[in-house]
Structure 1
Amino acid sequence: MTAVYAKVREPLLHLPNYAVPAFAERLERHVREPGFAAVLAFDAEDEPVGYAYGNTVESGDRWWRRIGDVDAVFTSAPALALKEIGVTVPHRGTGLARRIHDDLLAGRDEAYVSLMVNASAGDGKVQRVYESWGYEVIGTSRPSPESPVLTAMIRPTGAGA
């Protein structure tokens, strides 16, 4: 997954929070967390071109604490924290990110999925894409001193629907 991450984030790799070693450290920690799942997408030549991963977060998890005052309706039961999602430049705007997202959510029991987005990514386009997928803003977070301030978003997973 590190190789496709580097392709997706190439223009940002010089920034400490986006550097490959920082991602590798986060990924190593996240794979050990409850409910971890990942989806990788491949092109016709069997090259990885997209990915997403996340894990289950409970009430009181640092995911929620970083955001601050989140409505208990979202935190009273386990939720899926979508930690990373990305596709390579040639595959952006093709619907691949949405398919990866939906594959990650398929079969999950959590009622809600939450993610954090850099509101300036793509001059706001990335956040608008998430809004078009049904996400709503619930706050902001700065996961680390190296991280930009992120917009926290949430939506129902569709579990049980």
Structure 2
Amino acid sequence: MTVELRHHTDLTARARRDLVDVYAEVRAPLLHLANYRVEAFVGRLDRHVGEPGFGLVLGYDGDVPVGYAYGNTVDAGDRYWRRMAEPLPAGFTDTPVLAVKEIGVRTAWRGTGTARRIHDELLAHRAEGRVTLMVNPLAGDGKVRALYETWGYRAVNSQRPTPDSPRLTVMVRSR
């Protein structure tokens, strides 16, 4: 199973379609929840594409899109930081970070290292010194958060990005 990784700084029609298709399959068990509906994802995606530093890595096995990771640069004034449940330490937001907004891999490619390869490829071409992401602590009965911890992330806070969203754990690591 060879997965080719493709970079995007904007969304072509094909990249958009492939990303949404993978998202819909990965999140299928949650699509009945307002925050996880495809329409909600597309709305967030459209906003993220227009934000500073957008970057996307799509993984393909032949012509089949199998996974993705994308993110944006966030700086001190970004709403990402203003929604935290607890105050952040002084200076915590002084330098821009990469906020990984989404990671998803189709079931058949899970456990193969594909998610980590896509994630690491996204980070490899970034200038930010740190990276952050949010995870539902209940995802995979806590296994997703535990996986991110093996990748070097540590929990620093929590937030509810939208009224429809569950409370998410905010995690950070050095790039």
Tell me, yes or no, if structure 1 residue 156 matches structure 2 residue 169.
no
How far apart are residue 74 of structure 1 and its match?
A: 3.5
Distance 2:92 2:153 in 1: 13
5 Å-filtered alignment, 1:1-161, equals 1-44=19-62, 46-67=63-84, 68-157=86-175
Distance 1:16 1:6 in 2: 13
Distance 2:92 2:155 in 1: 12
Which segments of structure 1 move beyond 3 Å, counting only runs of 4 or more?
none
Verify the 8 A CA contact 1:74 1:112 in the aligned structure 2. no
The answer for unaligned runs of 5 or more in structure 1 is: none
TM normalised by structure 1 equals 0.94
Distance 1:7 1:133 in 2: 24
RMSD, matched Cα: 1.0
SS of the residue 2:21 aligns to:
helix
Amino acid at match of 2:36: Y
How far apart are residue 61 of structure 1 and its match?
A: 0.8
How far apart are residue 72 of structure 1 and its match?
A: 3.9
How far apart are residue 73 of structure 1 and its match?
A: 4.5
How many pairs were matched up? 156
How far apart are residue 71 of structure 1 and its match?
A: 2.7
Amino acid at match of 1:65: R
Distance 2:99 2:22 in 1: 20
Aligned-pair identity (%): 61
